Structure 1
Amino acid sequence: MGVLAFLIGVVVMVIGLGVSIALHEIGHLVPAKRFGVRVGQYMIGMGPTVWSKRRGETEYGLKAFPIGGYISMAGMYPAASADAKAPALAGAASARETRRRSIYATLVQDAQAANEETLDGVDASRTFSGLSVWKRVVIMLGGPLMNLVLAVVLFAVLFSGIGMQQATTTVSSVAECVLPAGSTATECADGDAAAPALAAGIEPGDSLVSLDGTAVSTFAEASAIIQANPGRPILVVVERDGADVTLTLTPIENRVEVTADDGSTSVETVGYAGITSSVERVREPIWAGPQAAFENVGAVVQIVANLPARLYDTAYDLFTGGERDADGPMSVVGVGRLAGEVAAADAPIMDRVGVMVSLLASLNIALFVFNLVPLLPLDGGHILVALWDGVRRAFAKLFRRPPPAPTDATRLVPVTLVVVVLLVGMGALLFAADIFNPVQLLGG
């Protein structure tokens, strides 16, 4: 049963990833067709095609590996004029310099040739590069925004539909005694002082209504009042069997170590009662999900901003066997493995469903942020090129000059190739780490 549940979890995550990719590409496809761009292909996955069907001028299909997708638009780059194409080598240069220029020129020429093929028989108005700047930005931004919308929906389902586990104001258990500081005992002994909550008459099943005259709606609010009143008697109102009961609680002094935001620690004296709350799944307001999604965006942005250091740590942990950071980058293998472990875990079904939804929502946040990195071939790179064109046109208009030709991004193909190689290398590292030194999210 455990193996079957694990496989079900993996399959569910693979399907979820496929849907996320499909919606991402639809985010590109719909505005592209709306603006009249000729779209030759809409493909989900990478590798060999396992199924495809042509509808109108577009071929729709699935590929073997659900690790990406794409749409093929006519004229992703503008047509290169004769004098704009990669120039022939001229002048004296060293053999090494000549080879370097030759490789660069070859890459650019190949990219221009491939781009020219998409322009054959297509009117300039139906090419991506022939669109206005804002339309190009809308098309490229549509994919990441679909992932953000999906993440917001999933987080809303998680927070407001399934609910989040929270400590409630209902008392789950009451400690019998106060164990001496530093004691390793697990049971009360003769002479141990009774816990304040027990002495006050608080019982399991009581629901905390107010403490020291302040109404409480969460256990965190009740704990804060208890901790703020060491050694001082306070009135506690609990609901028991449908009626309010007023009790007197005197929290004892308890010394705890507190860590400040700057990492420094100090010892503070706080109140202790000996109450444990019950944990229930609570549905939160509808805005809690979107708020969590945007907080998650900030966290992922920090991860991407520190990606080189994070990858170094991942590589170091891989080769030394160190424990990986649960908040660090993972490949689809790692996410699928976590999904399988969650599905096979010995936990209530709604707890497992909640974690799966959270994983899929976080994955879509990662797709949203990563695709907006301003480097080709990512969506953010195409947006940057379009915005650069907009800036150039604005300056030309300001100084009453003729509109400049669209930026020939094929000349960035060598840089794009470097980015692709780095992405492949990053993927290989994360694949290896997720296989040989996986993140222990649920414990070893």
Structure 2
Amino acid sequence: MLVYILGVVLFALGICVSVALHEAGHMVAAKSFGMKVRRYFVGFGPTVFSFRRGETEYGLKWIPLGGFCDIAGMTALDEVKPDEAPRAMWRFRTWKRTIVLAAGSFTHFVLGFVVLYLMAVTMGLPNLADRPVINEVSDCVRSATTAEAWNDPTCGAGDPAPAKAAGLRPGDEVTSVGGTPTDTWQDLLGAVQTATGPTQVEILRDGQPQTLTIDVARVTRPTGEGGTEQVGAIGASQAPMLPYGAVAALGGSAAFTGDLLVQTWERLLEFPEKIPAVVDAIFGAERDPETPVSVVGASRIGGEAVEQGLWEVFLLLLASLNFFVGIFNLLPLLPLDGGHIAVTWYERVRDWLRKLRGKAAGGPVDYSKLNAVTGVVILIGGAIVLLTVTADIVNPIRLIQP
């Protein structure tokens, strides 16, 4: 239990650091353009401590659920002092304001990439592309007529060990079997299962191509229909995680980041249709592991991952959460940063069209006219948070079912 609590605390701390860096991204970008940053605080509620450096007050508040960066004149409705007016954010060029507003999400993407890079160089990255990389080489392959016997690792005296005898090693990537290219593990299985006897196997070992001759054994295995079949087998398993060196990890992490961003966007599009399942879970239905989770649920899963020693799950969840927050925050909805970006570019396009018609610029958007829309977004967002938190308390997603 103590390890579980430690995992929950560590994950919650990771979220707090992520939020703090989000606001720091806004602050650094704003300062770099000369905007006036009044305050930068981590957390909400009563102030624990604060100090001033230059024109900015920095501090920590008691409730570590968020933070804020107070930039003078973020909108034309914000009150600014006379000395702040020339440096009010709304007076700056559109592209500068866009960079400042997007800097928070950009920070999440960078943080997610850093987490993945640390995974790559320490424990590897998940093999999402189904690459035929070897994880373990078995001491033997043997025939079996039942699923229980097939999963029994005990070797008999005469059982062959094709892969081990041929010198196949963990980390080798099989590129072809008997002349058939094996781009994925499924390709490898198909080629091996139809092979028999001495077969040429092309591999990459430490980036260098090599050729092995593996004496593929024919074994009996059970089928799903209760029968048996004869298939080829070499005695090797697929690597679930792909290791990287310090340099190769840069490219590997970048590619994996791209894959996760695409998956995150797809999950975000599916988000609305998953809400009914969350409601059902609150009232006792089995919790779908694909349903959305709150910070509470993510922290609980992080705690279970640490308790089970699954640090790769912990780090992958932390990176995925950063990518989700980064993309979600860019949605063109107020009060999200993406909503402010949308308003900023609406002003720019509107003024460009007015200029074409010989009219003067229209001036800053009156945000008070958008209060109703903003209120609806906040209401819906609050309801979703309440639902997911409730579900994560009464019927949480678990890594290992009790």
Structure 2 alignment gaps of length 5 or more: 128-132, 204-210
Deviations along 1:29-64, whole A, 9 cap, x unmatched? 112122222222212223333232232332212223
Query: In the alignment, what sits opposite 2:325?
Result: 367
CA contact (8 A) 1:297 1:365 kept: yes
CA contact (8 A) 1:250 1:273 kept: yes
Query: In the alignment, what sits opposite 2:206?
Result: none
Once the two structures are aligned, what percentage of the paired residues are identical? 31
1:171 and 2:169 are equivalent in the alignment: no
The change in CA–CA distance for 1:12 and 1:216 in structure 2 (over 3 A counts) is same
Query: In the alignment, what sits opposite 1:358?
Result: 316
Aligned residues: 374
Partner residue of 1:48 out of 46, 49, 69: 46
Deviations along 1:251-274, whole A, 9 cap, x unmatched? 4687978xxxxxxxxxxx994426
Distance 1:358 1:187 in 2: 32
CA contact (8 A) 1:168 1:280 kept: no
Distance 1:120 1:162 in 2: 53
CA contact (8 A) 1:42 1:71 kept: yes
Distance 2:218 2:343 in 1: 64
Distance 2:263 2:327 in 1: 10
Which sits farther off after the overlay, 23-32 or 151-160?
Answer: 151-160
Q: Report the 3-state secondary structure (helix = DSSP H, G, I; strand = E; otherwise coil) of the residue aligned with 2:283.
A: helix
Query: In the alignment, what sits opposite 2:16?
Result: 18
Partner residue of 2:360 out of 397, 402, 410: 402
The change in CA–CA distance for 1:317 and 1:358 in structure 2 (over 3 A counts) is same
Which sits farther off after the overlay, 143-152 or 161-170?
Answer: 161-170
1:225 and 2:191 are equivalent in the alignment: yes
**1:417-432, aligned counterparts within 5 Å?**
417-432=375-390
1:300 and 2:298 are equivalent in the alignment: no
The change in CA–CA distance for 1:275 and 1:218 in structure 2 (over 3 A counts) is farther
- Post-superposition shift, 1:405? 0.9
Query: In the alignment, what sits opposite 2:299?
Result: 336
Distance 1:30 1:39 in 2: 9
1:212 and 2:173 are equivalent in the alignment: no
Distance 2:238 2:86 in 1: 64
Distance 1:426 1:364 in 2: 19
> How high is the TM-score relative to the length of structure 2?
0.81
Distance 2:277 2:317 in 1: 22
Deviations along 1:305-352, whole A, 9 cap, x unmatched? 232212222111221331222x3321111111111111111x4xxxx3
Larger radius of gyration: 1
CA contact (8 A) 2:38 2:71 kept: yes
Distance 1:256 1:184 in 2: 8
Query: In the alignment, what sits opposite 1:414?
Result: 372
Distance 2:336 2:35 in 1: 19
Q: Report the 3-state secondary structure (helix = DSSP H, G, I; strand = E; otherwise coil) of the residue aligned with 1:63.
A: strand
Distance 1:151 1:429 in 2: 26
CA contact (8 A) 1:256 1:270 kept: no
Query: In the alignment, what sits opposite 1:27?
Result: 25
**1:116-131, aligned counterparts within 5 Å?**
118-131=79-92
Which sits farther off after the overlay, 147-156 or 43-52?
Answer: 43-52
> How high is the TM-score relative to the length of structure 1?
0.74
Deviations along 1:9-38, whole A, 9 cap, x unmatched? 122112211111111111111121222222
CA contact (8 A) 1:14 1:66 kept: no
- Post-superposition shift, 1:177? 1.6
- Post-superposition shift, 1:212? 2.3
Distance 1:223 1:417 in 2: 55
Distance 1:354 1:237 in 2: 31
The change in CA–CA distance for 1:185 and 1:35 in structure 2 (over 3 A counts) is closer
Deviations along 1:159-214, whole A, 9 cap, x unmatched? 244314675165224332231xxx455389xxxxx99x945755589526874257
1:283 and 2:243 are equivalent in the alignment: yes
The change in CA–CA distance for 1:302 and 1:282 in structure 2 (over 3 A counts) is closer
CA contact (8 A) 1:396 1:402 kept: yes
- Post-superposition shift, 1:134? 1.2
Letter in 2 for 1:343: V
Query: In the alignment, what sits opposite 2:130?
Result: none
Query: In the alignment, what sits opposite 1:248?
Result: 215
CA contact (8 A) 1:254 1:272 kept: no
Letter in 2 for 1:302: E
Query: In the alignment, what sits opposite 1:381?
Result: 339
Distance 1:21 1:249 in 2: 54
The change in CA–CA distance for 1:174 and 1:70 in structure 2 (over 3 A counts) is same
CA contact (8 A) 1:67 1:332 kept: no
Q: Report the 3-state secondary structure (helix = DSSP H, G, I; strand = E; otherwise coil) of the residue aligned with 1:43.
A: strand
Deviations along 1:133-157, whole A, 9 cap, x unmatched? 1111111011101111111121122
- Post-superposition shift, 1:386? 0.3
The change in CA–CA distance for 1:279 and 1:22 in structure 2 (over 3 A counts) is same
Query: In the alignment, what sits opposite 1:162?
Result: 123
Q: Report the 3-state secondary structure (helix = DSSP H, G, I; strand = E; otherwise coil) of the residue aligned with 1:418.
A: helix
Instruction: Give me the CA root mean square deviation.
Output: 3.4
CA contact (8 A) 1:206 1:238 kept: no
- Post-superposition shift, 1:283? 1.6
Letter in 1 for 2:117: A
Distance 1:237 1:405 in 2: 69
Distance 2:352 2:87 in 1: 23
